[in-house]
Amino acid sequence: MSSSSLPTAADVVIIGGGFAGVATAWALARRGVTDVVLLEREAALGKHASGRGAGLGRQLVDTDATTALTVRGAALLRGPLADAWCETGSVLGFADTAEADAYAARAARFGVPVERMDRVADGELGRRWPGLAGAAPAAALHVPTDGVIDVVRLLAQLEAAIDARVFTDAAVLGLEGGRAAGEPHLVRTARGTISARVVVEATGAWAGQLLGAPPLTVVKRHLFVVEDSAGTTAGPWLWQLGAQELYVRRHADGTLSSACDATPAAPGDYAVESGAEAAFRARLATAQPDLARAALVRAWACVRTFTRDRQMKLARDSSRPWLVWAIGLGGHGATASPAIGEAVAAAVVDALEG
């Protein structure tokens, strides 16, 4: 991260130093686009949603469009970004076998290997994978190529590989100019003003405060770590889908879990809500009763941001061709980040060439 003066001009200015922004700079570097400046208002990268997730490398999600990104992202995480990836496998549990059918079909379309298990008996998952005792979904998919992501290491690895000049403590105060064809856009920041041919909006939940983003929904999710006497990180994590959604991941501090709550929130609202722990324990008691009674180690909250159609917006603005969106990651930013970067970088190159 640069402590030098902000340059006066760049081909590309990326606003936001979370997964979307840093991965875009990484992908641009891989395409040979080097005149790039990344602006982050905090003192370090990934201080908000990107640094607060559970790090679950989940490939199969609820739409084909997002699955295409998470599958591609996981492939890159197993390849050039492998230092941040640990392949543990996962178990996706379903209360409805029809939903399991849909996910199995999606896995086949995207070439993701899965093992199908129906009518999962009490204790069966625990016998196969210690740590999942108590879970008994109607159907389950074991996804052996899923994994766990070290989000701090991933951000550092992406930053280390980029040619962009990264400026922290560089809050963007406004944009001006660029009204005539070919006129540069002036980005006013706390560290000075820089002109840009292309601007990438990657500010997550704050998107639109500067540039009038498409309508976004911001929701808060609580995460908890509880004590676990097993003391092992081996084996897959569990994500139970459906009305009683939750996930459970083993790690060095105990067991990390969430009831997958979705409370409307404001950008940057990470306060743990009163009653969140009780609601979490009530949900966990159904699938993991022993863990539901375990002592709390720590709790925190993160936010997820969705577009109206719940699809990521990774494209040029329809009326402002100099502007490229990288927003609405919907909680899949870690797994999909390298693919998000590729998609946004392609749109940036198109804008530069146009």
How remote is the C-alpha of 284 from its chain's centroid? 23
What share of the chain has pLDDT > 70, as a percent?
A: 94
Say if residues 175 and 186 touch (Cβ distance below 8 Å): yes
Predicted pLDDT of residue 243: 86
pLDDT band at residue 27 using 50, 70 and 90 as cut-offs: very high
Predicted pLDDT of residue 170: 94
Predicted pLDDT of residue 138: 86
Reported as half-sphere exposure (CB side, CA atoms, 13 A), residue 174 has a value of: 2
58-106, pLDDT tens digit by residue? 999 999 999 999 999 999 999 999 999 999 999 999 988 999 999 999 9
Can you list the positions of beta strands (E) in the chain? 9-15, 36-39, 56-57, 85-86, 90-94, 115-118, 139-143, 147-149, 165-167, 172-177, 185-189, 192-201, 216-226, 237-241, 246-251, 254-258, 263-264, 296-307, 313-316, 323-327
Predicted pLDDT of residue 210: 82
pLDDT of residue 152 exceeding 90, the answer is yes
Predicted pLDDT of residue 14: 97
Task: Compute, in degrees rounded to 10, the torsion defined by CA atoms 100, 105, 106, 112.
Answer: 100
Measured between alpha carbons, how far is 62 from 75 in angstroms, rounded to an integer?
A: 19
pLDDT band at residue 290 using 50, 70 and 90 as cut-offs: confident
Average pLDDT for the chain: 90
Which DSSP symbol is given to 271?
P
Instruction: Measure Cα distances from 243 to 62, 218, 240, 261, 283 in Å.
Output: 14, 20, 9, 11, 10
pLDDT of residue 284 exceeding 90, the answer is no
**One-character DSSP codes across 77-95:** HHTTTGGGEE---EEEEES
Rg (CA), the chain: 21
pLDDT of residue 232 exceeding 80, the answer is no
pLDDT of residue 318 exceeding 60, the answer is yes
Say if residues 103 and 242 touch (Cβ distance below 8 Å): no
Tokens of 336: 């999909």
**Average of pLDDT values for 103-116?**
97
pLDDT of residue 272 exceeding 80, the answer is yes
What class has domain 90-144+216-306?
Answer: alpha beta
Residue that is written with structure tokens 């402590």 in the block:
3
pLDDT band at residue 1 using 50, 70 and 90 as cut-offs: low
Predicted pLDDT of residue 131: 67
Measured between alpha carbons, how far is 5 from 346 in angstroms, rounded to an integer?
A: 29
pLDDT of residue 181 exceeding 60, the answer is no
Q: Which residues pair with 222 in a beta bridge?
A: 301
pLDDT of residue 231 exceeding 60, the answer is no
Instruction: Give the CATH H-level superfamily of domain 1-88+147-215+308-354.
Output: FAD/NAD(P)-binding domain (3.50.50.60)
Measured between alpha carbons, how far is 155 from 38 in angstroms, rounded to an integer?
A: 13
**Phi, psi (degrees; rounded to nearest 5) at 335:** -65, -45
245-262, pLDDT tens digit by residue? 999 998 778 899 999 999
Residue that is written with structure tokens 């178990």 in the block:
91
pLDDT band at residue 125 using 50, 70 and 90 as cut-offs: confident
Predicted pLDDT of residue 2: 61
Can you list the positions of beta strands (E) in 128-184? 139-143, 147-149, 165-167, 172-177
Domain ranges of the chain: 1-88+147-215+308-354, 90-144+216-306
pLDDT band at residue 209 using 50, 70 and 90 as cut-offs: confident
Which of 50-59, 123-132, 146-155, 185-194 is predicted least confidently?
Answer: 123-132
